Amino acid sequence: MLTIYSSENGKLKTEQSVKEGCWINISPPFNLDNLKAISQELDIPLDFLTDSIDIDERSRYEREDGLKLIVYNIPVKNDGIAETEAAYITIPLGIVISQDFILTISSFKNPIIELFENNKIKNFDPSDFSNFVLQIFERSVIYFLNFLKQINKLRYSFEKELYYSSKNEELNNLMNIQKSLVYFVTNLRSNELLMMKMQRTDLLRISGDENKTDLLQDIIVDNSQALEMADIYTKVLNATMDAFASIISNNLNQVVKRLTSVTIVLMVPTLVASFYGMNVKNLPLENSQFAFISIIFISIGLSLLLIWFFIRKRWF
């Protein structure tokens, strides 16, 4: 679906055709034929559009025939987007800048673009292309930081459950968090390299604007902070998973040890009863009228003795 926006009195309004300074947003659903038609209508290379919807596309930029393509990875919740159990993943957002318009394209529902569409961003003017790009970067870093905090809370809650667990379910939950952190670390580093290269080459032509230059620098610093947080959480999670894998194994060993002790205790009366179940003569207490009661008490006494021994050895 293609939507064209322009700004009027600080608010977005939709347009029926492309005009100078407008913002064009391409959102799902669409197919390859739709992209070919848009490519021909707007005179944009088709690979600019197709590369932007490849979920494995890395962050980068390129120039061609006066057009600039920026592919930037942003974080989202994994609501069936990718065939992975990771709770959070990253998806590419394509930004095409021409002399007359700026175009954004994403193959999935994009929460950052929705903020702009719903007029949730202050001082947003789609005709200021460089500032628009910087605001997308800024919002993306904020989402990264928020999701990292949520991931850390999830990790802590799963850790508490693992202390007394002998199952692998909680460990699997931590593995899913680890997958999210792998996505974040990889793409935060890729985004950082992209922004540093854009700063060095002045892709957005903002070297003469101190405010925008400072904003880009602040975004790079915040991105580095998010990357460091993701690295720290990854290291903590790896250490946690190693430790709790041993804890789960130890908990399972404790259960097996208790079950084995119970089996040994129950084996004593069974063994005594089996002796007296043999068809032989001259067994102790064979002719006593208290034979049955005596055997019961002997079995109980031996079992209690074993229980005392196990408790003393801390096997129970």
Q: To the nearest whole percent, how much of the chain has pLDDT over 70? A: 92
Of the three residues 219, 235, 250, the one that is the final residue of a domain is: 250
Each residue of 167-205: pLDDT tens digit? 667 677 788 888 899 999 999 999 999 999 999 999 999
Q: Are residues 114 and 169 in the same domain?
A: yes
Total domain count, the chain: 2
CB of 244 closer than 8 Å to CB of 162: yes
pLDDT digits over 5-54, tens only?
998 877 888 888 899 999 999 998 888 899 999 999 999 999 999 999 99
- pLDDT-based confidence at residue 60 (cuts at 50, 70, 90): very high
Please indicate, yes or no, whether residues 103 and 26 belong to a single structural domain of this protein: yes
- The pLDDT assigned to 164 comes to 64
Query: Could you tell me the pTM of the whole model?
Result: 0.78
Which string of b and e fits 77-104 if b means at least 16 CB within 10 Å? Answer: ebeebbeeebbbbbbbbbbbbbeebbbb
63 and 7 in a common domain: yes
